[in-house]
Amino acid sequence: MKILAIQGSPRDEGNTQTVLDVVLTSAKAAGADIEVIHVFNLRDLTGCMECFSCQRTSDGPGCPLDDDMQELFVQALRADVVVWATPVFCWTVAWPLKMVMDRFYCLFKFESADQYRCLLEGKKMAAVITAGGGEKDGADLVDETLRRMAHFSRSRSYASFIAAHVQSPESILADQNLLKRAEAFGRELVG
């Protein structure tokens, strides 16, 4: 089983990466192949330009923007599980992740507003969300956004892991209860 984690925090050693590492280490121990893309480190990345050229290609992304997203499309298409990882930024996903989500538009092929195919159909999707506040201070909205992304992608399933009230990587690694829950979540991704 191939898991692709798309890590959307600007920090590559921050809270989200720390929680994600625990989840993925556990998934790897349960037998998964892991790929992690830290979106902020993709140097050549732009947002969806809404040109709709992608809609002229039915069997592939068809996005004309020649940047680092092209490789990410390939990785997502060959994954069995796509994990969206993000901190809560102002009640929504962090901006690097939002760029990727918008660019995934090209993986949907629309015939009309409600008739479409999704090239990601049948995959599992999951979310790892970290928040400085409580679950109702935005993590709930991020969870709902990613749940809808999974539903619209016709994913086989969606599961989320929310680490609320987190302060630092050090305090995360000292929280035995959080670590146990994150490890269990990693095993569930493989099951």
Ligand X SMILES: Cc1cc2nc3c(=O)[nH]c(=O)nc-3n(C[C@H](O)[C@H](O)[C@H](O)COP(=O)(O)O)c2cc1C
Interface positions with ligand X (CB under 6 A): 9, 11, 14-16, 87-91, 130-133, 137-139, 166
Classified as helix, coil or strand, 116 is: strand
Considering beta carbons, is residue 73 or 89 the nearer one to ligand X?
A: 89
Residue of minimal Cβ distance to ligand X: 14
Considering beta carbons, is residue 119 or 129 the nearer one to ligand X?
A: 129
Structure tokens at 120: 């990601």
Calpha distance 69→72 (Å, rounded)? 5
CB of 10 to ligand X, least distance (A): 6
Considering beta carbons, is residue 136 or 156 the nearer one to ligand X?
A: 136
CB of 14 to ligand X, least distance (A): 2
Nearest to 84 by CA among 92, 62, 71: 92
CB of 3 to ligand X, least distance (A): 19
Calpha distance 80→5 (Å, rounded)? 11
Let me know: does 66 contact 109? Beta carbons within 8 Å.
no
Considering beta carbons, is residue 62 or 132 the nearer one to ligand X?
A: 132
CB of 6 to ligand X, least distance (A): 13
Considering beta carbons, is residue 73 or 185 the nearer one to ligand X?
A: 185
Nearest to 102 by CA among 127, 144, 72: 72
Nearest to 130 by CA among 158, 75, 171, 191: 171
CB of 75 to ligand X, least distance (A): 21
